[in-house]
Amino acid sequence: MADEKTRKIQELMHQQEKIRNIAIAAHIDHGKTTFSDNLLAGAGMISKELAGKQLALDFHEDEATRGITIDSASVSMVHKLDEEYLINLIDTPGHVDFSGEVTRAMRAADGCIVLVDAVEGVMPQTETVLRQALKELVKPVLFLNKVDRLIREVKLTPQEMEKRFISVINHVNELISNIAPEGYKEKWKVTVSEGSVSFGSAFHNWALSFQYMKSKGITFKDVIDAYQNDKVKELAKKAPLHEIVLEMVIKHHPNPVQAQKYRIPKIWHGELDSEIGKSLINCDADGEPVFVPTKIVVDRHAGEVAAGRLFSGTMKQGDDVYMNLAKRNVRIQQVSVYRGAHRMVVDEVSAGNIVGVVGLKDVFTGETVSKKPMEPFEAIKHLFEPVVTKSIEATKAADLPRLVEILKQIRKEDPSIKIEIDEQTGESLMSGMGELHLEIIENRIKSEKGLPVKTSPPIIVYRETVSRESPSAEGRSPNKHNSFYMRVEPLENDVYEAIKSGELREGRVKKKNEVIFNVLSGLGWSGDMIRDVKNIYKGNIFLDETRGEVHIGEVMEMVLDAFEMVMNQGPLAREPCMKLKVSLDDTRLHEDAIHRGPAQVYPAVREGILEAMRKAGSYLLEPLQIHVIEIPDKFLGAVTKLVGSKRGQMLEVKQEGTQAEVKTKLPVAEMIGWSNDLRSATEGRGTSSLLDQLFEKVPASIQADVIRKIRRRKGLSENQ
Ligand code: GDP
């Protein structure tokens, strides 16, 4: 890669009118990877021989086989039309969207290429991704791929080919006019006459637009001839894919300054007249810096790299910035842009670009990073507690080290997946937000990494809590010399919410903590009580209410260990506890430290808390999910029935054109096989995405049965 290119990219990133930020909307297997590689190769960003085989966008594959650091979050290329342009192509996941990743990727783009396999036509995922794009006011153009198959496999005549194209174009336009917001339904239709449609073969590296055919005197018949007379290479020389496609992008997609004028009011709900509002609308490089990460990639050298869109201002190494959702200050360690698929560290990045930022510790996608606190871009999106667990192991024992490697990587890249690795037995546990979530991970391991794995049926993780305050319960140590008097009660809802939202940070409390003091006194706790808080753990709080006990400091860490043990395994079914306030009322301790070691303290405290919970009416909570199901409206009846059959509840139904959106609440325990059930109920046209997750009391009629089953599975006695 010539240094000339590097210099060019650095120059162009400051010329906003020369930038295009784009994404690809495609159904899986329609050729997105092959297509992107050919664009990159055409623009001289990877070698031509390797294009199509190199899979530059496929970070995992590439990293494994070539051992270099490639960042899949975004790729950039320079293309010369009348002048040179910088095109940033942001990666979108190639699987069913589960966590809003597509939406967030789309947020960074202003234009998208809808890529459709000409043989298969528009498929459900084409529709879903296009929908996400239009919601974010990302402007579409159309590319019909795999035209070679129409010629070689389907053997269409020139007339039939034209007819086929028109039918796909009409289908895409029907979707656009159904889905696009008012004002864009007509304006954003793709048309042959204006050149926002092109077609070709990513595999054979050629493409055509109707204008190009006219200007070069190429006909459909010529294309068919090329295949019949072994002249495909010539065709690819005459009409190289990247030239046609990148010209379409440059001409039809907006530059960031044009796009932010209409996109900002749609995707940011702050005061548009404020200084920061104006800076965003104008994509002002001299304004306030505002960065929205859309993908986090773990880089072997730099660690966590947040890739995303710099909507305004400039950012550089050493800048102190504020993460508005996490409510934390951090310092930027590195800023970068992309050169081909490589991340290139630069001195400074400026508004309107897709950039990489290092130093935003523990950042999540969708965060809004700015200099001063501001209205964030996206409503806070919790990372949900994992509620479904599956064991996973390599089919072949020899693959174990690779599986462990892959699982470690996944754990870093998808913070919503929890993984417990057992490097000895090879059986690891992965826990996620739902069965579908784990299925996606499993498929990624199988297809993307080519590693055969076996998984167990999914297990639902419940929670335990109490309904009322208990009396003080004594827990005695095995040597009978120590007693701990424990009391439990339900934790107030607003306190629990403050923990869940991160306002109250979890962890042991060593000294006076101002944040905890402010939050809890704001919620009505007395100063005395707040001073007693010793631990905030998994949505539970521990209070030390003993007074004047001389040895308490010596045993407190052990008491807290034991508290955490019970919070991980409650009395009913050894499921984790939540929403508990646990108090240590009093103690009786042996004078001599030797008689109050862990072997004495642990069982005593554990027994005290468990006993208190039993006396406080403990019960089981089950996870439920709020899902938004999108379907063509004719399947509304079928979906209503399906939801009903799963103890689910319909919360809201919205209709728009021929499309319906259903909000439902479903117990996770009943969602096993959900994606298959939804598929069969909707002929594959329904998609469902997770909106929220909550816990509710298991219906009384089934609680005993659920507890019995869990205890049996864990090999516990039937009696609690
Ligand atoms: P993705 O899942 O959308 O990223 O698709 P890939 O780029 O991995 O392509 C899926 C399959 O389609 C691969 O086997 C490609 O070789 C093949 N493919 C991609 N483009 C074309 C094309 O233009 N013609 C034909 N015949 N096959 C193609």
Q: What is the 3-state secondary structure (H, E, C) of 213-279?
A: HHHHCCCHHHHHHHHHCCCHHHHHHHCEHHHHHHHHHHHHCCCHHHHHHHHHHHHCCCCCCCHHHHH
Task: For residue 457, count other CB atoms closer than 10 A to its CB.
Answer: 8
| Amino acid letter, residue 13 | M
Distance CA 596, CA 483 (A): 10
Q: What is the mean pLDDT of residues 44-73?
A: 46
Q: What's the CA-to-centroid distance between 673 and ligand 1, angstroms?
A: 29
DSSP 481: S
Position 272 scores a pLDDT of 92
Cα angle for residues 68, 440, 171 (degrees, 5° grid): 100
Residue 273 — φ and ψ, nearest 5°? -85, -10
Q: Report which protein residue has its CA nearest ligand 1's atom 5.
A: 31
Q: What's the CA-to-centroid distance between 212 and ligand 1, angstroms?
A: 24
Atom of ligand 1 nearest to the CA of 200: 23
| Lowest mean per-residue pLDDT among 275-284, 440-449, 619-628, 678-687 | 440-449
Of the pLDDT bands very low, low, confident and very high (cuts 50, 70, 90), residue 53 is very low
Q: Does the CB atom of residue 33 touch ligand 1 within 6 A?
A: yes
Q: What is the mean pLDDT of residues 399-410?
A: 84
Q: Is the pLDDT of residue 73 over 80?
A: no
Q: What's the CA-to-centroid distance between 435 and ligand 1, angstroms?
A: 28
Q: What is the mean pLDDT of residues 647-657?
A: 89
Interstrand relation of 649-656 and 659-667 (parallel, antiparallel or unpaired): antiparallel
| Amino acid letter, residue 202 | A
Of the pLDDT bands very low, low, confident and very high (cuts 50, 70, 90), residue 432 is confident
Q: Does the CB atom of residue 202 touch ligand 1 within 6 A?
A: yes
Q: Is the pLDDT of residue 54 over 50?
A: no
> Facing residues of 432 across strands?
388
Q: Report which protein residue has its CA nearest ligand 1's atom 9.
A: 31
Of the pLDDT bands very low, low, confident and very high (cuts 50, 70, 90), residue 27 is confident
Q: Does the CB atom of residue 30 touch ligand 1 within 6 A?
A: yes
What are the structure tokens assigned to 58, written together?
Answer: 């496929």
Best CA proximity match to 1, nearest among 45, 62, 66: 45
Q: Does the CB atom of residue 31 touch ligand 1 within 6 A?
A: yes
Q: Does the CB atom of residue 94 touch ligand 1 within 6 A?
A: yes
Report the mean per-residue pLDDT for the chain. 88
Task: For residue 317, count other CB atoms closer than 10 A to its CB.
Answer: 16
Q: Is the pTM value of this prediction over 0.85?
A: no
Q: Does the CB atom of residue 205 touch ligand 1 within 6 A?
A: no
Task: For residue 564, count other CB atoms closer than 10 A to its CB.
Answer: 16
Testing ligand 1's pocket by substitution, the residue of 30, 33, 34 carrying the most ligand atoms inside 8 A of its CB is 34
Q: Does the CB atom of residue 32 touch ligand 1 within 6 A?
A: yes
Q: Does the CB atom of residue 201 touch ligand 1 within 6 A?
A: yes
Position 56 scores a pLDDT of 47
Position 720 scores a pLDDT of 67
CA distances from 89 to 40, 74, 320, 579, 670 (A): 10, 6, 28, 45, 40
Torsion from C-alpha of 692, 698, 699, 700, nearest 10 degrees: -160
Q: What's the CA-to-centroid distance between 151 and ligand 1, angstroms?
A: 16
Position 66 scores a pLDDT of 32
Q: Where are the alpha helices (DSSP H) in 618-685?
A: 636-644, 674-681
Task: Check if the beta carbon of residue 385 is closer than 8 Å to that of residue 693.
Answer: yes
DSSP 577: B
Q: Does the CB atom of residue 289 touch ligand 1 within 6 A?
A: no
Q: Is the pLDDT of residue 93 over 70?
A: no
Q: What is the mean pLDDT of residues 508-529?
A: 90
Position 101 scores a pLDDT of 65
> Facing residues of 404 across strands?
none
Q: What's the CA-to-centroid distance between 340 and ligand 1, angstroms?
A: 20
Q: What's the CA-to-centroid distance between 683 and ligand 1, angstroms?
A: 25
Task: Check if the beta carbon of residue 9 is closer than 8 Å to that of residue 75.
Answer: no
| 719 Cα distance to chain centroid | 41
Position 65 scores a pLDDT of 36
Task: Check if the beta carbon of residue 327 is closer than 8 Å to that of residue 337.
Answer: no
For 199-251, the pLDDT digits (tens) are 999 999 999 998 889 888 898 889 999 999 999 999 999 999 999 999 999 99
**Helix or strand run (H / E) with residue 652:** strand 649-656
Q: What is the mean pLDDT of residues 561-567?
A: 97
Atom of ligand 1 nearest to the CA of 34: 7
Q: What's the CA-to-centroid distance between 197 and ligand 1, angstroms?
A: 19
Residue 281 — φ and ψ, nearest 5°? -60, -35
Distance CA 492, CA 489 (A): 9
Q: Which residue has the higher pLDDT, 380 or 196?
A: 196
Q: Does the CB atom of residue 402 touch ligand 1 within 6 A?
A: no
Position 504 scores a pLDDT of 84
Interstrand relation of 197-201 and 139-145 (parallel, antiparallel or unpaired): parallel
Q: Does the CB atom of residue 145 touch ligand 1 within 6 A?
A: yes
Q: Is the pLDDT of residue 380 over 50?
A: no
Q: Report which protein residue has its CA nearest ligand 1's atom 19.
A: 31
Q: Report which protein residue has its CA nearest ligand 1's atom 17.
A: 31
Long-range contacts of 88-91 (CB under 8 A, 24+ apart): 88/19, 88/20, 88/21, 88/22, 88/338, 88/353, 88/354, 89/22, 89/23, 89/24, 89/36, 89/39, 90/21, 90/22, 90/23, 90/294, 90/295, 90/307, 90/354, 91/23, 91/57, 91/295
Atom of ligand 1 nearest to the CA of 145: 23
Testing ligand 1's pocket by substitution, the residue of 24, 27, 28, 29 carrying the most ligand atoms inside 8 A of its CB is 29
For 98-139, the pLDDT digits (tens) are 455 667 788 899 999 999 999 888 876 788 788 888 988 999
Q: Report which protein residue has its CA nearest ligand 1's atom 11.
A: 29
Position 299 scores a pLDDT of 75
Position 100 scores a pLDDT of 58
Q: Is the pLDDT of residue 505 over 90?
A: no
Atom of ligand 1 nearest to the CA of 94: 2
Atom of ligand 1 nearest to the CA of 115: 3
Atom of ligand 1 nearest to the CA of 146: 23
Task: For residue 48, count other CB atoms closer than 10 A to its CB.
Answer: 12
Within 8 A by CB and 6+ apart from 136, the residues are: 103, 106, 107, 109, 263, 266, 267
Q: What is the mean pLDDT of residues 182-193?
A: 93
Q: What is the mean pLDDT of residues 390-398?
A: 90
| 496 Cα distance to chain centroid | 24
Q: Does the CB atom of residue 27 touch ligand 1 within 6 A?
A: no
Question: Considering the chain, what percentage of its residues have pLDDT values greater than 70?
Answer: 92
What are the structure tokens assigned to 673, written together?
Answer: 């096989």
Of the pLDDT bands very low, low, confident and very high (cuts 50, 70, 90), residue 87 is very high
